C-alpha cells in the first residue's frame, strides 16, 4: 500500500529536491579556477625547482642520483669536464609530462638542490613545453614556486 | 698443504698462502682496502684484521701466512667495531665528495662505509682541501681523497717499474706525489689509476662524463696492438665512455697501456664519416650504402670481365677480424680468382712463446725493438719477470728504453756499432768466441729462455733464426704490430704477393683496400702515383683517410668496438671481440658478404657460420677454442738470409724507433692521444741538439739522399750521440723510412 503511494506521488523525489533546496542556501565549494586558486598544502608535490647557492649558481652538481632513482625515467642529465677540469652540467632536463610527482628525486638529492614545488598547472598546448631545463627549474626557485 | 679453519669452514691451502687467500678458498669474505692481488702484500690499512685463536693480537689477513691448524675468526663484534673505527678515522679527512667524484658508485671506501654501517662519524671532520692536480694529461690527481693505501705507488714500482709517484713527507702530512712536485715523468699507462680504491686518481678522458651505474659493460679485446688485452668497454647510448681493465679476464692480468686505456675517443670521434662517398670528377659525393655496394660489385664485375680476374687486387689490413680476413681471401681467391691479395704482414715469423713463457723465463733477450712502446703489455710482463728474477734480461737497442731499470745487460750504441754487436752475439751463440761469449753462454745455459724481436725486419729475423738453431730451447716472441697481425696471416692474407710488384707490372686495374691506409705505409709510399692511374679503388675504413682520398669509392665501416669476430694475438691466441655499440655502420664483414654474393659466390651469412668455415678450411684453427685457445704453428721462424745495412751518407745515423703513444695512424683519431703526440718527431741527443742549436719543438729537416722531410725536434737524452730516430708506422716518416731501416742522414736546421 505504502509502495503504491510512493510511486504515485513521487515522495522520494520531493525528499531529494528538499536536499537540493537546502544546498541552494549554503556556501559554494567549487573553485572558479583559474580566477580562484586552490589552497596548496605544504606537503604537496608539484613542479620541481632547483635551489641556488649564495652566488646564485644552481646547487645541483650533476651527480645523476635523481636520474637513477626516478621511477618514471624522466630526468636526463649530461655532464662533462670543463677546460680547467671542473665539473660541468651540459644538460639537465625533466619531462614534466612523464613525471609522476613521486618526489623520489628530492629525497635522493645529496646537495639539497632539487625540490618539489607547489605548482601543478602543467597544462600546455605543446608537448615540447613539458621538457624543462635547469634554467626553468632555477627560475621556479627564484619565483618562489 | 696445511689445514686451516676459517669461521668454522675447513680448508686446505698451500703452505705459504695468506689468510686472505685461504679465506677466498673457503668462500669467506674478508674486507680489504689496500691489498691488490697483482702486488706484494703491504698491510697499510688494517681493514682486513682477523682474530687467530690463541693469539692475543689481531692479524692482517692480507699479509699473514697461514700455519697448520690455524683457527681464524673473521667476523665478531670486536672486529666489527675496529673496522668501523678505522673507516671513521679515514673519513675525518676524506672530503665527502661522492656526488662529484667519478669513483662514486664503484668506490671501495664507499662500499666499506656501507658494509660496516658507518652513518655518522664520531670525530670532528677536517676535510682536506688542496687544489686538484691536472699536470698529467690523462690522470686527474685529487690527493684530498687519498687513503694512502699505496697501491698506485706499488704498481708503478712493481709492475711498471717507472716509480713516477711515491709517498712524500711523513706521518699525517704524507701525500702521494711526484719527485720535487715535478710534472709526472711517466708512461701514462694508467695502472696507478686502475688500482686506486678511491677517487684520488681519475681518468681525465672520462672525467665527469657519466656515472658507473649508467654504463653497460661489454667484454672484448683491445683493437690496437697484438698484445690482445681483454678490456671492458663501458658504453651508454652507442657511445663509448671508457675502456677499463678486468683483473680476472684474459691474458693481460688487468694491465692496459696508454693507447688501449685512453685512446677510445677515436671510436666516438665526430669526424667519423657516416656516408659512403663516390668520386665524381674531382669531388666526392655522398651515396647510400646500398648504392655504394652495388656500384662496387658492378665495377668489379666489369673490370674482371674486361681485363681478366688477375686485374683486381685486394689489400687487407691487420685490423680486420679473422672472419673478415677469411672472407677477404675468399673474395679474392675463390670469387674473383685473383692471386693478388696483399697485406703488410709477414709469415716469416709465427707465434711460439706465450705470456706464461715469459713469466717462467729464466733468460729474456729483447732484440732490437722497444717492446715497451710497440707492445706495452708484453713489455710489462718482461719487466715483471726481470724484476722477479733480478736479472736475466738482455736488451739490444740503440737507446736505453724503459727496460733499463730491470735489464741486467743493456747494449746501446750507434746502429753502426750495435748491429755489429748483435751479429757477434749471434756468432757467439753459434759457438764462436768473441766479446759476446759471456752473454751467449748465459742464453745457452738457460732452461727456459725467451727471445723477443721485431718480425718485420729481415735482418733481425736472420739473427733470430740463427739463434733459434743454436739454442732450440729459446721460445720466440715476434712483436707483431696490430691487433690481428697474426690472424690475417693465418687466414691466408700474407701470400707474399707484393703490392709494389703487382702494380708495377701494370696488370692490376682495380684495388679493394680493406681498412689499410696504404698511402702512409712506408712500404707503399712510392705507389701513390701508380695508384692514381688505376681504374677503380674501393676503400673501406672507419675514417676518411689519405687512402680514401685517392679512392673512387669510400665506404665507412665499423671499428673493433662495433663488431663481432675474433682476433689472434702475438701468442697465436684466438680471442672473441664483442660489439659494444652500434654507430649505424656496416662492418667489413657485411660488405664482404654482399660483394661475394653479388659477384656470384656464396658467403656465410653470419660470423658464426664464417667461424665454422674457418674451422673446416684452416687446419690449425680446427680444434681451437675461439675464446682464448692457442693455435699451433708448424714453424716459429723461417730461414731468412739478410744482413744489416746502413744506407745513404751523412753525419748522423738514423734508425726507426717504436712509435710512442700510438698504434699506427689509426689512433691519431683519438684527440687525447694526439694531445701528447701528434706529428712524428725526431729524437735527438741533447749534445747534438746543442751543436745544431736546436730546442725541443724546433723544426729540423732530415735529408736522406734526395728526400727531405721536416720534423719537430724532441730531445732524448738516451739517444747516443750522433744518432737520431723517427718512428716507424706513422704518417710523416714513410718517405724517409722507405729507404731503409738504418740510414746516414744530414740534419738541416731551419731559420
Ligand atoms: S618526482 Fe618522481 S617521477 Fe618526477 S622526476 Fe622526481 S623522481 Fe622522477
Ligand atoms: S640528485 Fe641533486 S645534485 Fe644530483 S643531479 Fe639530481 S638535482 Fe643535481
Ligand atoms: S700512469 Fe703508469 S707510469 Fe704513470 S704513474 Fe701511473 S702507473 Fe706509473
Ligand atoms: S692515490 Fe689512490 S691508490 Fe694511491 S695511495 Fe691514494 S688511495 Fe691509494
Ligand atoms: S694497445 Fe696493446 S698493450 Fe695497449 S691495451 Fe691495447 S692490446 Fe693492450
Ligand atoms: S687489506 Fe690488509 S691491511 Fe689493507
- Answer yes or no: do A63 and B209 touch at CB < 8 A: no
- Residue B482 CA to ligand 5 center (angstroms) comes to 9
> What's residue B532's pLDDT?
79
* Ligand minimally distant from the alpha carbon of residue B18: 6
Looking up cell 681523497, which residue turns up?
A: B145
Q: What is the pLDDT along chain A (145 residues), one digit of tens a residue?
A: 667 777 777 788 888 889 999 988 888 888 888 888 888 888 899 999 999 999 999 999 999 999 999 999 999 999 999 988 899 999 999 999 999 999 999 999 999 999 999 988 888 889 899 999 999 999 999 988 6
Looking up cell 658467403, which residue turns up?
A: B603
Q: Using DSSP bridges, classify how beta strands B536-541 and A48-50 pair: parallel, antiparallel or unpaired.
A: unpaired
b (16+ CB within 10 A) / e for B403-412:
beebbbebbb
Question: B50 — alpha (psi -120 to 50), left (phi > 0) or beta?
Answer: beta
Confidence check: pLDDT of B225 > 90: yes
How high is the ipTM of this complex? 0.86
Residue nearest to atom 4 of ligand 2 (CA): A63
Distance from CA of A108 to the nearest CA of B (A): 11
Confidence check: pLDDT of B751 > 70: no
The alpha carbon torsion through B602, B608, B610, B616 (nearest 10 deg) reads -110
* Ligand minimally distant from the alpha carbon of residue B19: 6
Judged by CB atoms within 8 Å, which residues 76-135 of A form the interface with B?
79-81, 84-85, 87-88, 110-111
Of A24-38, B59-73, B444-458, B574-588, which gets the smallest average pLDDT? A24-38
- Answer yes or no: do A87 and B208 touch at CB < 8 A: yes
How far apart (Å, rounded) are the C-alpha atoms in residues B375 and B440? Answer: 25
Q: In chain B, which residue's Cα lies nearest the Cα of A63?
A: B99
Residue from A75, A77, A96, A114 whose mutation best tests the ligand 1 pocket (most atoms within 8 A of CB): A75
Q: Are A38 and A130 in contact (CB under 8 A)?
A: no
Q: Are B323 and B471 in contact (CB under 8 A)?
A: no
Residues of A in Cβ contact (< 8 Å) with B99: 61, 63, 65, 110-111
- Answer yes or no: do A79 and B210 touch at CB < 8 A: yes
Per-residue pLDDT, averaged over B198-202, amounts to 96
The per-residue pLDDT for range B34-88, each reduced to its tens digit, is 999 989 999 999 999 999 999 999 999 999 999 999 999 999 999 999 999 999 9
- Answer yes or no: do A111 and B104 touch at CB < 8 A: no
The grid coordinates listed for B433 are: 768466441
HSE at residue B277, side-chain half, CA atoms within 13 A, is: 23
Confidence check: pLDDT of B523 > 80: no
Q: Torsions phi, psi of B504, nearest 5?
A: -65, -35
Residues of B in Cβ contact (< 8 Å) with A108: none
CA distances from residue B457 to B228, B438, B464, B467, B656 in whole angstroms, order as listed: 22, 26, 10, 15, 11
- Residue B537 CA to ligand 4 center (angstroms) comes to 53
> What's residue A145's pLDDT?
67
How far apart (Å, rounded) are the C-alpha atoms in residues B626 and B618? Answer: 13
Neighbours of B300 (CB within 10 A): 22
Ligand 5 neighbour B260 (Cβ under 6 A):
yes
> What's residue A144's pLDDT?
80
Q: What is the CA radius of gyration of chain B?
A: 28
How far apart (Å, rounded) are the C-alpha atoms in residues B573 and B628? Answer: 6
Element (H, E) at A49: strand A48-50
How far apart (Å, rounded) are the C-alpha atoms in residues A89 and A91? Answer: 6
Residues of A in Cβ contact (< 8 Å) with B209: 79-81
Listed residue (B402, B338, B384, B343) closest to B164, CA to CA: B402
How far apart (Å, rounded) are the C-alpha atoms in residues B708 and B646? Answer: 18
Listed residue (B384, B377, B329) closest to B361, CA to CA: B384
Of B132, B207, B211, Cβ closest to residue A64: B211
The per-residue pLDDT for range B464-508, each reduced to its tens digit, is 999 999 999 999 999 999 999 999 999 999 877 777 777 776 678
Ligand 4 neighbour B150 (Cβ under 6 A):
yes
Mutate to test the interface with B, among A65, A82, A105 (most CBs of B within 10 A): A65
- Give strand pairing partners of B657: B727
DSSP-derived letter for residue B126 is -
Residue from A48, A49, A57, A64 whose mutation best tests the ligand 2 pocket (most atoms within 8 A of CB): A64
- CA of residue A30 relative to chain centroid, distance: 20
- Answer yes or no: do B210 and A64 touch at CB < 8 A: yes
Q: What is the CA radius of gyration of chain A?
A: 25
Neighbours of B731 (CB within 10 A): 18
Of A85, A88, A111, Cβ closest to residue B99: A111
Of B98, B104, B208, Cβ closest to residue A81: B208
How far apart (Å, rounded) are the C-alpha atoms in residues B188 and B160? Answer: 10
**SS3 per residue for B723-735:** EEEEECCCCCCHH
The per-residue pLDDT for range B264-287, each reduced to its tens digit, is 999 999 999 999 999 998 899 999
Q: Are B87 and B108 in contact (CB under 8 A)?
A: no
- Answer yes or no: do A81 and B214 touch at CB < 8 A: no
DSSP-derived letter for residue B637 is B
> What's residue B336's pLDDT?
94
How far apart (Å, rounded) are the C-alpha atoms in residues B267 and B238? Answer: 10
DSSP-derived letter for residue B133 is B
Per-residue pLDDT, averaged over B83-98, amounts to 93
Q: Are B549 and B566 in contact (CB under 8 A)?
A: no
- Answer yes or no: do A81 and B207 touch at CB < 8 A: yes
Amino acid at each position: 500500500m505504502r509502495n503504491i503511494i510512493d510511486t504515485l506521488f513521487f515522495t522520494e523525489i520531493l525528499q531529494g529536491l528538499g536536499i537540493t533546496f537546502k544546498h541552494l542556501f549554503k556556501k559554494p565549494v567549487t573553485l572558479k579556477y583559474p580566477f580562484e586558486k586552490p589552497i596548496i598544502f605544504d606537503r604537496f608535490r608539484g613542479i620541481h625547482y632547483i635551489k641556488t647557492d649564495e652566488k646564485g649558481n644552481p646547487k645541483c652538481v650533476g651527480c645523476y642520483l635523481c636520474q637513477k632513482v626516478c621511477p618514471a625515467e624522466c630526468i636526463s642529465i649530461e655532464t662533462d669536464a670543463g677546460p680547467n677540469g671542473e665539473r660541468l652540467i651540459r644538460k639537465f632536463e625533466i619531462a614534466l609530462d612523464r613525471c609522476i610527482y613521486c618526489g623520489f628525486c628530492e629525497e635522493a638529492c645529496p646537495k639539497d638542490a632539487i625540490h618539489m614545488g607547489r605548482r601543478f598547472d602543467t597544462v600546455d598546448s605543446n608537448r615540447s613545453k613539458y621538457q624543462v631545463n635547469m634554467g626553468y627549474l632555477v627560475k621556479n626557485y627564484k619565483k618562489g614556486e | 698443504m696445511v689445514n686451516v679453519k676459517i669461521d668454522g669452514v675447513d680448508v686446505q691451502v698451500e703452505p705459504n698462502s695468506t689468510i686472505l687467500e685461504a679465506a677466498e678458498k673457503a668462500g669467506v669474505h674478508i674486507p680489504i682496502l689496500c691489498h691488490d692481488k697483482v702486488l706484494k702484500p703491504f698491510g697499510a690499512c688494517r681493514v682486513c684484521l682477523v682474530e687467530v685463536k690463541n693469539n692475543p693480537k689481531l692479524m692482517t689477513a692480507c699479509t699473514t701466512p697461514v700455519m697448520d691448524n690455524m683457527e681464524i675468526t673473521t667476523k665478531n663484534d670486536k672486529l666489527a667495531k675496529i673496522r668501523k673505527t678505522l673507516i671513521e678515522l679515514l673519513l675525518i679527512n676524506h672530503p665527502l665528495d661522492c656526488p662529484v667524484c667519478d669513483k662514486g658508485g664503484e668506490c671501495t671506501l664507499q662500499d666499506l662505509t656501507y658494509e660496516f654501517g658507518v652513518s655518522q662519524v664520531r670525530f670532528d671532520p677536517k676535510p682536506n682541501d688542496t687544489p686538484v692536480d691536472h699536470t698529467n694529461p690523462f690522470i686527474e690527481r685529487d690527493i684530498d681523497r687519498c687513503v694512502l693505501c699505496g697501491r698506485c705507488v706499488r704498481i708503478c714500482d712493481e709492475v711498471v717499474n717507472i716509480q713516477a709517484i711515491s709517498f712524500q713527507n711523513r706521518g699525517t702530512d704524507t701525500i702521494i706525489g711526484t719527485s720535487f712536485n715535478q710534472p709526472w715523468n711517466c708512461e701514462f699507462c694508467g695502472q696507478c689509476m686502475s688500482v686506486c680504491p678511491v677517487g684520488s686518481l681519475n681518468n681525465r678522458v672520462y672525467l665527469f662524463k657519466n656515472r658507473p651505474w649508467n654504463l653497460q659493460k661489454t667484454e672484448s679485446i683491445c683493437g690496437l696492438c697484438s698484445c690482445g688485452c681483454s678490456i671492458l668497454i663501458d658504453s651508454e647510448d652507442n657511445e663509448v665512455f671508457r675502456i677499463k681493465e678486468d683483473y680476472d679476464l684474459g691474458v693481460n692480468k688487468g694491465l692496459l697501456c696508454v693507447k688501449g686505456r685512453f685512446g677510445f675517443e677515436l671510436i666516438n670521434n665526430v669526424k667519423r664519416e657516416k656516408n659512403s662517398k663516390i668520386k665524381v670528377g674531382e669531388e666526392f659525393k655522398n651515396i647510400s650504402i646500398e648504392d655504394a655496394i652495388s656500384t662496387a660489385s658492378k665495377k668489379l664485375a666489369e673490370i674482371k670481365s674486361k681485363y681478366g680476374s688477375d686485374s683486381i687486387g685486394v689489400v687487407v689490413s691487420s685490423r680486420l677480424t679473422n672472419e673478415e680476413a677469411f672472407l677477404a681471401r675468399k673474395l679474392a681467391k675463390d670469387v674473383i680468382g685473383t692471386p693478388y691479395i696483399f697485406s703488410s704482414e709477414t709469415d716469416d715469423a709465427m707465434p711460439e712463446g706465450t705470456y706464461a713463457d715469459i713469466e717462467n723465463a729464466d733468460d729474456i733477450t729483447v732484440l732490437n725493438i722497444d717492446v715497451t712502446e710497440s707492445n706495452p703489455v708484453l713489455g710489462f710482463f718482461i719487466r715483471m719477470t726481470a724484476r722477479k728474477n733480478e736479472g736475466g734480461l738482455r736488451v739490444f737497442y740503440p737507446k736505453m728504453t724503459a727496460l733499463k731499470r730491470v735489464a741486467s745487460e743493456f747494449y746501446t750504441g750507434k746502429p753502426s756499432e750495435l748491429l755489429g754487436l748483435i751479429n757477434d752475439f749471434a756468432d757467439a751463440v753459434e759457438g764462436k768466441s768473441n766479446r759476446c761469449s759471456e752473454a751467449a753462454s748465459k742464453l745457452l745455459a738457460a732452461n727456459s729462455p725467451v727471445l723477443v724481436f721485431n718480425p718485420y725486419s729481415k735482418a733481425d729475423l736472420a739473427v733470430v733464426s740463427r739463434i733459434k738453431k743454436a739454442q732450440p730451447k729459446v721460445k720466440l716472441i715476434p712483436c707483431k704490430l696490430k691487433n690481428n697481425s697474426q690472424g690475417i696471416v693465418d687466414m691466408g692474407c700474407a701470400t707474399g704477393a707484393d703490392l709494389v710488384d703487382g702494380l708495377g707490372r701494370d696488370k692490376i686495374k682495380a684495388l679493394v683496400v680493406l681498412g689499410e691506409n696504404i698511402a702512409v705505409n712506408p712500404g707503399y709510399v712510392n705507389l701513390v702515383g701508380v695508384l692514381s692511374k688505376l681504374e677503380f679503388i674501393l676503400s673501406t675504413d672507419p675514417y676518411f683517410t689519405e687512402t680514401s682520398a685517392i679512392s673512387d669509392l669510400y665506404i665507412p665501416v665499423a671499428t673493433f668496438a662495433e663488431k663481432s669476430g675474433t682476433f689472434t694475438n702475438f701468442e697465436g691466441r684466438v680471442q672473441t671481440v664483442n660489439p659494444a655499440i652500434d654507430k649505424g655502420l656496416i662492418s667489413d664483414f657485411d660488405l664482404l658478404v654482399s660483394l661475394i654474393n653479388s659477384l656470384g659466390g656464396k658467403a656465410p651469412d653470419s660470423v658464426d657460420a664464417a667461424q665454422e668455415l674457418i674451422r673446416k678450411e684452416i687446419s690449425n684453427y680446427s680444434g681451437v677454442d675461439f675464446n682464448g685457445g692457442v693455435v699451433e704453428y708448424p714453424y716459429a721462424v723461417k730461414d731468412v738470409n739478410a744482413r744489416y745495412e746502413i744506407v745513404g751518407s751523412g753525419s748522423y745515423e738514423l734508425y726507426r724507433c717504436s712509435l710512442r703513444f700510438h698504434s699506427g695512424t689509426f689512433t691519431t683519431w683519438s684527440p687525447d692521444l694526439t694531445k701528447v703526440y701528434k706529428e712524428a718527431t725526431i729524437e735527438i741527443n741533447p749534445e747534438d741538439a746543442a751543436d745544431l742549436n736546436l730546442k725541443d719543438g724546433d723544426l729540423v729537416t732530415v735529408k736522406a739522399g734526395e728526400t727531405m722531410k721536416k720534423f719537430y725536434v724532441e730531445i732524448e737524452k738516451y739517444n747516443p750521440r750522433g744518432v737520431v730516430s723517427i718512428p716507424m708506422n706513422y704518417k710523416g716518416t714513410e718517405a724517409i723510412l722507405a729507404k731503409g731501416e738504418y740510414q746516414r742522414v744530414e740534419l738541416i736546421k731551419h731559420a
